[in-house]
Structure 1
Amino acid sequence: MDSKLIGRNILVMVEQNEQLTISTFIAFIRQEFGYTITYHNAWLAKQLALEKDSNYSYTGQVEPIPNKVIFHRFFWSFKAYIDVFACCKPIVQIDGTWLYGRYKGTLLIAVAQDGANNIFPLAFAIVEGETVDG
């Protein structure tokens, strides 16, 4: 049994209660199939089940979940970064990387350079994805 097969079998359990322990999944598979899985495979299976039950669908759209607050976008910076910006060149560069695993989306980072060409992070954001306005 691989983690994908186990994940499909425990998906309903995870949807009902994400706080179930790995030991619970091991006992469930042993009871249902008469096979003892490793802790590692059970953990991977839970992660796969959580991905399928995550806040984002595979198209990157946010799915509403009753009684839960969901951030569509999240932005943050630190005071030290804001203070350093006064000493930087007046050029801000932005780059992004995709997030994998349970949470999908794009992590964006804004950076600037000081007079000695040292790069300083300024701010971070998590968004649904990068967009380009034509």
Structure 2
Amino acid sequence: MNNNIHNIQVYFQCADCDQDIRAIFAQEQVSAVRCSECGRAYTLMKPTIGDEILLDWEQEALYHKLRADRSEHDNHNMSALIIKVIELLTWRDSGDGQTRAIEMVREWLASSGKPQTLLELFHHPERDNKRF
């Protein structure tokens, strides 16, 4: 899109003497101009063109959609994990439901890319076989 835009011309009046001032932007993003009548200096930034704005909005929308999709996926996986852990903790079996629940949480944290500090909370080999 930017290849189609060669020069951007900006016109304005001097704040001191009302002289017409023209600035042309080619590749630069910032330009300095002086009023030919009174010598006042102006620093101008290249105006953003509609296509550039549209491109930014499209990228921003895509980013938020990907974030929302990932968040929804994470929430679904977390809900499934919670249900399974509750089942393991409340199910009356051979008594290893708590151990299996902790193992399941540990596996889920590792597979879902959660921070290492959370994994460390569930991984203390010396505590695994002791009851407090």
TM-score interval, normalised by the smaller of the two chains: under 0.3
TM-score with structure 2 length normalisation? 0.23
Greater length-normalized contact order (CA 8 Å, ≥ 6 residues apart): 1
Task: Looking at secondary structure, tell me which structure has more strand per residue.
Answer: 1
Q: Which has the larger radius of gyration?
A: 2
